[in-house]
Amino acid sequence: MSPELDRTDPAGAIAAAARRCSNRGRWGEADVLGTLNFLDDAKRVEGAGLVRRGASFSLSQRFDAEGPQKGWRRRTNPVHTMLSSGLDAEFGPPEFPHGLGGADDVIHMPLQASTQWDGLGHIFDHGVAYNGRRASHVVTSEGDRLTGIETVADRIAGRGVLLDVGRAIGTDGELPDGFAITVEHLEATIAAQGETSRVGRGDLLLVRTGQLTRARRDIAEGRGWGDYAGGPAPGLSFTTTDWLHDSEIAGIATDTWGFEVRPNEFDVAFQPLHQVAIPHIGLFIGEMWDLDALATDCAADGVHEFLLAAAPLPVTGAVGAPVNPLAIK
């Protein structure tokens, strides 16, 4: 059962959850991997063994100027510019001998503008980073010097599990904004989907709410992205903190911008589940993943486990990074 939530005492609830769910020192004082310690070679072998049909699904949204960002936290959509193009090759002076031409391009973007992983240096609790380190000693103006996203560039591949809560609990495959997904909802989805949805140590868990489906329908009908990036959303309840810790999953990703339910469940709070999950549990969190095509396939064949390869772009010192996750069944 999910614990009772005192909405008037966020500070007390966060502090209590941090004490119960702390992985500080669990893998030694020098650890930089957090819950990815659960994803070992055996789990990667298990994940590889799930490939039967070879069907592959990209779980990434596009990285382009038409994305959902509206400037919240100074996040903008990617800006893609050509450095050289076919026009240069056809009408400009020769770039190389004997008629050889080419095209090059550049992109400018916040690292969390679209489908991405949060690194362990992304969130602090009262100035403390993962494993009890002082935040100022971890992330400086030069970036994350200890737990930068590049430290896990070779780690995030293994058994993936999709819990399609939108389809199992929601209406027409979608949960409304502000819907808090509890442990009971997660367990009901596992029961509805069957044995291939069991969740345990070292798994990479994907939770579909259906919010991205709704956002795309709004775009198609001329209403645009709305508040998809930064506004109200369905998501994980703060009461799932112990479940996330006790299940020993390696990482979790959702199809929403912030992973947890928005507005948050306390009277005054901002992302309290992040405040426990990243600096205390050491949990890797993915956001704005596109789970729709995979979910349709899983519903059709009844298999909700697969090989998931989701290495972040290894930007040295980054506290989050883009990813093009591949689910292979």
Cβ-count burial 9-35 (b if 16+ within 10 Å, e if not): ebeebbeebbeebbbbeebeeebbbbb
For a pLDDT cut of 90, what percent of the chain falls above it?
A: 96
Alpha helix (H) residue ranges in 142-193: 165-169, 183-193
In this predicted structure, what is the pLDDT of residue 2? 66
Q: What is the pLDDT of residues 117-175, one digit of tens each?
A: 999 999 999 999 999 999 999 999 999 999 999 999 999 999 999 999 999 999 999 99
Residue 4 reports pLDDT greater than 80: no
Residue 178 burial (C-beta neighbours within 10 Å; 0-12, 13-18, 19+): middle
CA distance 18 to 196: 31
In this structure, which amino acid lies at residue 237? Answer: S
pTM for the predicted model, two decimal places: 0.96
Paired tokens of 235: 């998501």
CA distance 163 to 79: 33
Residue 152 burial (C-beta neighbours within 10 Å; 0-12, 13-18, 19+): buried
Tell which residue, 158, 159, 141, 139, has the closest CA to residue 149: 139
Q: What is the pLDDT of residues 62-115, one digit of tens each?
A: 999 999 999 888 899 999 999 999 999 999 999 899 999 999 999 999 999 999
What is the set of domains in the chain, with CATH numbers?
Answer: 10-74+111-328 (3.50.30.50), 76-109 (no CATH)
In this predicted structure, what is the pLDDT of residue 116? 98
